[in-house]
Amino acid sequence: MIRLDQVHVRHRIRGTGFFRHAAVHALTAASLEVRRGEILGLVGESGCGKSTLARMLTGLQRPTEGSVSFRGEDLWNMPRARRRVEFGSSVGVVFQDPSTALNPRMPVGRILRDPLDVHRRGTEAERTARVEELLDLVGLPPHTARSLPGRLSGGQRQRVAIARALALEPQLIVADEPTSALDVSVRAQVLNLLVELRERLDLGMVFISHDIQTVRYLADRLAVLYLGRVVEEGPAARVTAAPAHPYTQALLSATPSLLEKTERIILTGPVPSATNPPSGCPFRTRCWKADEECATVFPAASLGADGGEGDGQGDGEHRWHCVHPENGAEQAPAGGGRARTEVSSAGSTPSPASESGHGPETPETAETPETPENPETETPDTSARSTQ
Ligand SMILES: Nc1ncnc2c1ncn2[C@@H]1O[C@H](COP(=O)(O)OP(=O)(O)OP(=O)(O)O)[C@@H](O)[C@H]1O
Ligand code: SF4
Ligand SMILES: [Mg+2]
């Protein structure tokens, strides 16, 4: 339904020292397909580019380079009006924090009616009926329509945000960490609601999280992102049973499931910066298998078959970018060596990326125009120097 081909997103920021400008490589050569009706789980640590990818999939931002296609047609070559009407009504989005995603001055009924008015859906009476229907769909009583978002609990607000995303009967919902700003007690409710709605309405969903253990049970397919690159992708069961990329292996080991006994992999080495990504494989500064070969070029995709053999002859369902893949056979050293930084992943453990610097480069220095019509268009710097 939506396809990204070799998508790059760079944000220009103010540099330091001699260099007046620098670029944050938020996404690099990302290729990904979202198929109709499936749940695609997108995982990776903080700052790896998950929200940027969500903005690509929802047309909220234009890529610096590469293409986004919707039902086979280039989204950004579509006339603007068609893009708004056809694409805009086919894809709904739910953001992480419902308290900032909803206009605090608009009553809920108005918030839900807004997309119907903008897209001129139905008559006045039909729009009113649709608002009631939407509230019912997400389990909120009709009188919620008169409340301001500030009068609702976090869970109720996220239900309103989900209802708004569903207003135009989309075929796909992109949910960017939809439960991480909520109380633990209501997370499961909101998650269950999304899963139930997906089945009831035959929706496709992109579910974004830093928690691979949550995503693995929800998703049909998984894509793992590291420093702006999709490093592994495939059927969720296959990726989690036999992760090929060491980073996926480390993510899974950081929150062992109750069913499987895995040793926790402690990642060591410097966390690279998105302004100066390492040459070759972006994970090599923390990877226990890194050697010289890993520093030359970003590894080409290996395709798996039979549960993840990197034979290059496979069905293409499971693919990864690593020259020394795990394939479920080799064991990573746990806990030893140069250990300092623990891998970020599930739950509430802080991410090394957020501790060490993807974030700080962004705030006041960001110069990227966020409007879809005004992308940053510099040529990619594929010769970025290593951080080591
Ligand atoms: N407007 C911007 N200007 C400059 N840099 C940005 C901008 N938006 C994002 N970035 C940078 O791009 C990279 C990817 O950011 P993104 O928000 O997509 O990550 P994320 O995986 O969603 O992180 P989190 O899990 O913390 O939400 C980060 O290094 C971030 O600092
Ligand atoms: S390519 Fe090399 S550094 Fe990258 S994940 Fe594979 S083994 Fe590790
Ligand atoms: Mg994000």
Ligand 2 pocket, residue 283 CB under 6 Å: yes
CA atoms within 13 A on the CB side of 342: 12
Ligand 2 pocket, residue 84 CB under 6 Å: no
> Does the residue 64 lie in any domain?
yes
Written as one string, the DSSP assignment of 133-202 is HHHHHTT--GGGGGS-GGGS-HHHHHHHHHHHHHTT--SEEEEESTTTTS-HHHHHHHHHHHHHHHHHHT
> Does the residue 381 lie in any domain?
no
Of the listed ranges 205-214, 250-259, 364-373, the least confidently predicted one is 364-373
pLDDT above 60 for 326: yes
CA of 381 to the centre of ligand 2 (A): 21
Ligand 1 pocket residues where CB is under 6 Å: 11, 13, 24, 26, 44, 46-52, 210, 274, 354, 358-359, 361-362, 366, 368
CA of 352 to the centre of ligand 3 (A): 15
Give the pLDDT of residue 64. Answer: 97
Give the pLDDT of residue 14. Answer: 77
Relative to the alpha carbon of 332, which ligand is closest? 2
Atom of ligand 1 nearest to the CA of 370: 1
- The C-alpha atoms of residue 143 and residue 160 are separated, in whole angstroms, by 13
Instruction: Tell me whether residue 230 is exposed, middle or buried, using C-beta atoms within 10 angstroms of its C-beta: 0 to 12, 13 to 18, 19 or more.
Output: buried
> Does the residue 121 lie in any domain?
yes
Q: Which domain holds residue 257?
A: 2-361
pLDDT digits (tens, 9 = 90+) for 189-206: 899 999 999 999 989 999
229 — pLDDT class (breaks 50, 70, 90): very high
CA of 229 to the centre of ligand 3 (A): 15
pTM (2 d.p.): 0.82
Give the pLDDT of residue 267. Answer: 84
Of the listed ranges 42-56, 118-132, 223-237, 369-383, the least confidently predicted one is 369-383
What is the overall mean pLDDT for the chain? 81
Give the pLDDT of residue 16. Answer: 66
pLDDT above 50 for 96: yes
**What CATH number should be reported for the domain holding residue 170?**
3.40.50.300
Whether the CB-CB separation of 218 and 195 falls below 8 Å is answered with: yes
Relative to the alpha carbon of 282, which ligand is closest? 2
Q: How much is the average pLDDT of 222-237?
A: 96
> Does the residue 385 lie in any domain?
no
The rounded percent of the chain whose pLDDT value lies above 90 is 61
Ligand 2 pocket, residue 324 CB under 6 Å: yes
> Does the residue 25 lie in any domain?
yes
Ligand 2 pocket, residue 271 CB under 6 Å: no
pLDDT digits (tens, 9 = 90+) for 27-68: 999 999 999 889 999 999 999 999 999 999 999 999 999 999
CA of 260 to the centre of ligand 3 (A): 29
Q: Which of 356, 362, 387 to mutate to test the pocket of ligand 1 (most atoms within 8 A of CB)?
A: 362
Give the pLDDT of residue 262. Answer: 67
> Does the residue 291 lie in any domain?
yes
> Does the residue 371 lie in any domain?
no
Instruction: Tell me whether residue 302 is exposed, middle or buried, using C-beta atoms within 10 angstroms of its C-beta: 0 to 12, 13 to 18, 19 or more.
Output: buried
Ligand 2 pocket, residue 227 CB under 6 Å: no
Atom of ligand 1 nearest to the CA of 54: 18
CA of 292 to the centre of ligand 3 (A): 32
> Does the residue 210 lie in any domain?
yes
Q: What is the residue with the minimal CA distance to atom 3 of ligand 2?
A: 284
Tokens of 187: 């997370």
Count of domains in the chain? 1
Ligand 2 pocket, residue 281 CB under 6 Å: yes
